[in-house]
Amino acid sequence: MKIDAQPFPLDIDPATTALIVIDMQRDFIEAGGFGASLGNDVSLLQAIVPATARLIAGCRAAGVPVIHTRECHRPDLSDCPPAKRLRGAPSLRIGDHGPMGRVLIAGEPGAEIIHEVFPAAGEKVIDKPGKGAFYATDLGEHLSGLGTRTLIFAGVTTEVCVQTTMREANDRGYDCLLAEDATESYFPAFKAVTLEMIRAQGAIVGWTATVDDIVDAFAAVQA
C-alpha cells in the first residue's frame, strides 16, 4: 500500500503498521490543566481532536493496532527528576494539586486521555515519565511482539514528545509517518519547522501526510 506522503510516497503494509497517539491528555488539552498553567493557548491543541479521532477510527477499521501514551509520574515523584520538575516558573508544577487533581500524576483525572480519543478496550496504553515513549517503558518490546515495521504518529506536542518519540523510533529502524493535521504545538511556528525537519534530506527522520491521505489509503486497500 502506498501513501501520498512528503517528501515522497511511502510504501507500508497495514499488517506491520501501528499508530502511536502521543499524550492526548486533559492536562495538556483542556482549560485549567498543566499546559494552560504554563500560559499556553490550549485551543490550538483542541483543534486537532476531530482529525485525530478520524485517524484512530481509520486505523481501527483497517486492523492497525492503536497505542496511546500518557506523560505522567508516580505519586511519590521518584521518576520525575528535579531538573524536570523545578525548571521555569509555572503557576503549577508536576505533582502540585490543580483543578484536575495532581498535575501529571498517574491515576489523576488530568493525566487521563480526553474522551474524544479515549482508548478502546484492549488497546495498549503506555505511561511514560519522559518525553520519548521508548524511555523507561515497554514500548519497544510491545512493538517487537506485534512485528511492527512502520509507525504512524499523532498527538502533542509536535516538537517535544511527538518528535522525540519519532527520533527514538527512527534510531530503532522503524519507518515513521507523522499525520500533519493530527498533531499540534502551542507554538504554530514550532510545528511548521518540525515537519520540515522530519522530512528533510530524503525523510531523515520520517515522512508526513494528511489524515485524509492515510485514511483513504487504508480504505482503498479494504475496498
Show which residues are catalytic.
23, 128, 161
219 neighbors 184 (Cβ within 8 angstroms) = no
Secondary structure class of 15 (helix, strand, coil): helix
Task: Check residue 156 and report its DSSP letter.
Answer: E
Residue 3 parent element (H or E): strand 2-3
- The residue with cell 502506498 is 2
What's the CA gap between 154 and 43, in Å, rounded?
17
Expressed in angstroms, the distance from the first to the final Cα of the chain is 13
Query: DSSP E strands: which ranges in 78-209?
Result: 97-98, 101-102, 124-128, 150-156, 175-184, 207-209
DSSP code string of 63-106: T--EEEEEE-B-TT-TTS-HHHHSSS--SS-TTSEEBTEETTBT
